[in-house]
Amino acid sequence: MLISSPEDEKHWVLVLKSQIAKVLLTYIAKPAEKRTTIAITPPTIEQISHKPPDITMIKLMIASDNSAQGIGEVCTGIIQQSNLDETEFSSRLQVMDGDLATCANIQSLQSQRVPSEYSADTITNLLTLLGGSHTLWNIGLAIFELHYGNTSDSRDCGAWRWLDSLGIPSTKTLDKKDFTKMIQNMEKIHEATIVYCIMCVMGIQNSSLTDQLLSLPGKTIESIIDKTYHQYFSARAKSKAAKSASPKHSNLLLRLGDFASIIEGNRAMKSGDIGRLMNMWKRWSVIAIGVTKLRQYAIQLPRMIILLNHVLPAGLSKIIRHSLLIAPSGRQRHFVAKDYFLEHQNCWLKYIFNQTGRGTEIDRLKDLYSTNVQTMLIQKLATDSGAVHIFYSHHNKIDLKSMNNCLRMTRANNVCGPSDKAGD
């Protein structure tokens, strides 16, 4: 159920090759032909509609999500605001997205309340799902820390050295409050590593990049992509590197594979492809078994995958899967997870409320501001008035100066070599 099928493995190979192709065509070369078939995005598996969602905000509730009393208060608040009685509420399936602690707590309470004479006391109608963004952030942080390295060792070639060579202060890279910046830094490290791997395959690792991209035939570019994959991403390459006397090369290949899954999960989420995201969740379920900080995810994530793919009826499973990601602006490739959207609304709620000078009136925050936070946003007001809102897409690209500085570091430390230099 969690082991990738042959079709999933073939798709994973296409994912890795698309990442290599994207980096190659962005920083190193361009096809000589006007029309090429080089794919920089993996094939779509299960695309979600980008129709803007119809979301209704309910009143803010002051309750702890780490206790039985807090969960009871949340359920009571939902019952009161939805005009349902307890019997009707408990007879309906209630799908709830939450973080890891909330999901684990609710499942623990469900196991303690079964069996029960009254259906309202069992809370078995609550179906908890891990939030997509929180899952990406927490697993990404654990993998990032795993490959971060030792900053006090000058010979260490962990992720911190790549960040330092790219001009990013290593002291600010593990800030747990800025997960977006953390994912962006992981993407920069991953792309910079792929750039040097490609240059090693091409035999130009001692050169520097320029503004002018190399013009190469499409067949040559495809050959470089295949060679890079087989030399640095394939299972045979990892097995061969593991037998080497130096762990540096093996650690590099392991980091390439782990970071590739995080980057693919982030891009799949943005593109609204729940099929690609589900494949990454399966891969993370296996990775979580060997990472100490992900022990709870090793339990909860496989449970959610099996529930969505094998337990629930096909129709209900599809409805739930297609509700995990939303496109608030109604644009393609601008999807976010629902928990990310909620965090965004909470950020604006706190900002707007605190700027009005009424930061101590909690009742006003719950009754007035929380239900109207979307209306208070300038973007929402402009849309309702008929004005045209101009959107901007943010791209995470490394500038030429930083990339060349990183390449100098890679040459000095021979990061892609199978063994260390003499004297290292």
DSSP 370-423: GGGHHHHSHHHHHHHTTPPPPP--------HHHHHHHHHHHHHHTTTSSSPPTT
Nearest C-alpha neighbor of 377 from the set 324, 331, 340, 329:
329
DSSP symbol at 214: E
Query: Does residue 89 surpass a pLDDT of 70?
Result: yes
Q: Mind listing the pLDDT tens digit for each residue in 349-362? A: 777 777 766 655 77
Query: Does residue 383 surpass a pLDDT of 70?
Result: no
Q: Mind listing the pLDDT tens digit for each residue in 119-136? A: 667 788 889 999 999 999
Q: So what's the pLDDT on residue 300?
A: 94
Q: What is the band of 172 on the pLDDT scale with cuts at 50, 70, 90?
A: low
Burial (Cβ within 10 Å: 0-12, 13-18, ≥19) of residue 402: middle
Q: So what's the pLDDT on residue 78?
A: 87
Q: Which residue type does 162 have? A: W
What are the structure tokens assigned to 261, written together? 């899954």
Query: Does residue 162 surpass a pLDDT of 90?
Result: yes
Q: So what's the pLDDT on residue 391?
A: 65
**C-alpha dist (Å) from residue 376 to 351, 382, 386:** 11, 10, 16
DSSP symbol at 171: G
CA angle 304, 309, 314 (to 5 degrees): 125
Rounded-to-integer distance, Cα 23 and Cα 229, Å: 13
Contacts of 144 (CB under 8 A, 6+ apart): 159, 173, 174, 182, 186
Q: What is the band of 90 on the pLDDT scale with cuts at 50, 70, 90?
A: confident
Check residues 259 and 244 and name the one with the higher pLDDT.
Answer: 259
Q: So what's the pLDDT on residue 25?
A: 96
Q: What is the band of 422 on the pLDDT scale with cuts at 50, 70, 90?
A: very low
Stated as kind and residue range, the H or E segment containing 30 is: strand 29-31
Q: Mind listing the pLDDT tens digit for each residue in 333-345? A: 999 999 999 888 8
Rounded-to-integer distance, Cα 320 and Cα 177, Å: 29
What are the structure tokens assigned to 369, written together? 């501001």
Contacts of 132 (CB under 8 A, 6+ apart): 269, 277, 324, 325, 337, 338, 339, 340
CB 345 within 8 A of CB 57: yes
Residue 300 — left, alpha, or beta (φ > 0 → left; ψ -120 to 50 → alpha)? alpha
CB 126 within 8 A of CB 106: yes
Query: Taking the CB of residue 162, how many other CB atoms lie within 10 A of it?
Result: 25
